[in-house]
Structures are given as C-alpha cells and as structure tokens.
C-alpha cells in the first residue's frame, strides 16, 4: 500500500531532483523487503536453520551415522572323536561390520560355559581391517574342554575396538544370541552383564 502511494506521488506531482531521488530510493527499499523475507523463509532448512561452519571432513568423522558390529559363532565342530584322545569342541568366530566405518582393529575375548553353567574354556581373537559391509571369520582354532558342542554358551567381552578414524567402537559391538554357540556381551574387566 505504501509503495503504491509513493509511486502515485511520483507520477502525479512534479518533484525536484533531490526529493524525487529520495522517494525513488525509499520505494526501492520498500519493494526489496518482502523479497528478502521471502528468500530467507523459503530456504529448505528454514529461516532459523543453523549451518555448520566447519570442514565437511571433520563433521563426517565426528557426526557419523553409527551402525553395528556383530560377533557370532555360526558353526562349531567336534574334533578328536575315535582317535583315542578326548574329543573337544572348536568354534568358528565371525565379525560382521554393519557400521559405516572400517573397523581397524577389534580384540574380542570369549568365555565358554557348558550346559551345567561351568566355564569350559576361553579364547581371544583379533579382527583386523574389517571393511564396511564385510565379514571376517576365524576358523576352528580354539579348543573348548567339552566332549561336544551342544548346550554351550559364550560371554563376549570386547577388549579393544577402534574404527579406522581412531574413534572407539566398543559400544557398537553386539553379541549374536543365535548360531552354534549363542553369546551375550559382558562389560569389560568386571565380568558382569
């Protein structure tokens, strides 16, 4: 409304050069205000969006989307049957990287319990450079003091886990409760769940 009256004033009466320039300037300023407001509020992030002023590489490393790292024992085999020696169970341990960063190193300790609840063995294994979407398997190298693999359970303790960017990944590891030896994760150093 104000801008229309200013335009009418400019066209209806004769004004001197200075007054004319002032009115023209005022009209231009008033016409640009709605355009600026529309530009700010029309931004896809909104008028009050706060844009980070840090290098993208730093934001990606710090505010990465997390995923999980699964540790499972999908198979376990009995060795030594019929050889005159006491048979023993040997598990296959697998790490699956479903996170969004390569796992540089993960040390996983596993304590095995027999069907009676008593410990029958333990092992520690090191997974190295497990890429995103990949898995690493350690085949049948540890021995468990059990005649067969049935009824065994495992307690997984993550001793160390580091992504390739140096960020700790211990909290991202999950024990899988399915497979030949179901596992559950325990807290580091104190043995409690």
* Region for residue 129 given its phi and psi (left: phi exceeds 0; alpha: psi -120 to 50; beta: otherwise): left
| Count of CB atoms situated within 10 Å of the CB of 89 | 26
Q: What pLDDT, on a 0 to 100 scale, did the predictor assign at position 4? A: 57
| Count of CB atoms situated within 10 Å of the CB of 114 | 19
Give the highest mean pLDDT range of 29-33, 79-83, 96-100.
96-100
21-62 pLDDT, tens digit each: 776 676 766 666 655 555 555 555 555 555 566 666 665 565
Global confidence as pTM: 0.64
168-177 pLDDT, tens digit each: 999 999 999 9
Q: What is the mean pLDDT of the chain?
A: 79
**Could you say which DSSP state residue 168 is in?**
B
Measured between alpha carbons, how far is 17 from 27 in angstroms, rounded to an integer? 15
CA distances from 163 to 4, 5, 129, 149, 176 (A): 64, 67, 9, 33, 20
What's the order of all strands across the beta sheet hosting 88-98?
135-138, 88-98, 68-79, 173-179
């Amino acid at each position: 409304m104000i801008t229309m009256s200013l335009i009418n004033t400019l066209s209806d009466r004769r004004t001197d050069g200075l007054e004319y320039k002032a009115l023209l300037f005022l009209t231009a300023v008033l016409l640009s205000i709605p355009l600026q407001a529309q530009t700010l509020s029309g931004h896809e992030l909104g008028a009050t969006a706060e844009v980070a002023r840090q290098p993208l590489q730093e934001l990606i490393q710090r505010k990465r989307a997390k995923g999980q790292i699964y540790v499972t024992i999908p198979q376990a085999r009995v060795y030594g049957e019929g050889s005159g020696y006491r048979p023993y169970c040997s598990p296959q341990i697998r790490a699956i990287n479903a996170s969004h960063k390569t796992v540089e190193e993960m040390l996983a300790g596993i304590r095995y319990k027999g069907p009676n609840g008593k410990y029958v063995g333990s092992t520690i294994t090191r997974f190295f450079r497990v890429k995103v979407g990949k898995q690493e398997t350690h085949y049948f190298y540890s021995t468990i003091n059990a005649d067969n693999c049935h009824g065994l359970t495992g307690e997984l303790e993550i001793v160390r886990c580091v992504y390739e960017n140096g960020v700790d990944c211990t909290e991202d590891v999950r024990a899988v409760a399915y497979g030949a030896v179901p596992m559950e994760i325990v807290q580091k150093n104190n043995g409690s769940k």
